[in-house]
């Protein structure tokens, strides 16, 4: 007889509301790229990430990327998906770590 691998219902919980002080209009330095305006937000509704085609859950801190001069083309990206997109485009500049 197959085993039942069920997670405890306590495992599934609603995301906690985003504290507005956690979100800033400024994106991390590595996230900015020529031709794009990038800012950090915590959404009030779910969005679809164009990088992975998965949902960016409501209240999750993520990036909004707007091509300069085309506000209608703005997209909500998972932070890591935007990093991968910048790598793909050859625009990713990792932060320098101080040793």
Q: What is the pLDDT of residues 43-72, one digit of tens each?
A: 789 999 999 999 999 989 999 999 999 999
Contacts of 10 (CB under 8 A, 6+ apart): none
Q: What is the pLDDT of residues 82-94, one digit of tens each?
A: 999 999 999 988 8
Q: Are 41 and 62 in contact (CB under 8 A)?
A: yes
pTM score, two decimals?
0.71
């Amino acid at each position: 007889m197959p085993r039942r691998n069920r997670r405890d219902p306590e495992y599934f919980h609603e995301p906690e509301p985003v504290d507005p002080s956690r979100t800033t209009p400024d994106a991390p330095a590595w996230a900015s790229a020529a031709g794009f305006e990038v800012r950090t937000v915590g959404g009030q509704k779910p969005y679809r990430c164009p990088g992975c085609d998965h949902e960016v859950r409501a209240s999750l801190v993520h990036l909004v990327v707007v091509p300069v001069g085309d506000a209608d083309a703005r997209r909500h990206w998972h932070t890591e998906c935007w990093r991968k997109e910048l790598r793909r485009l050859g625009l990713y500049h990792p932060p320098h770590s101080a040793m």
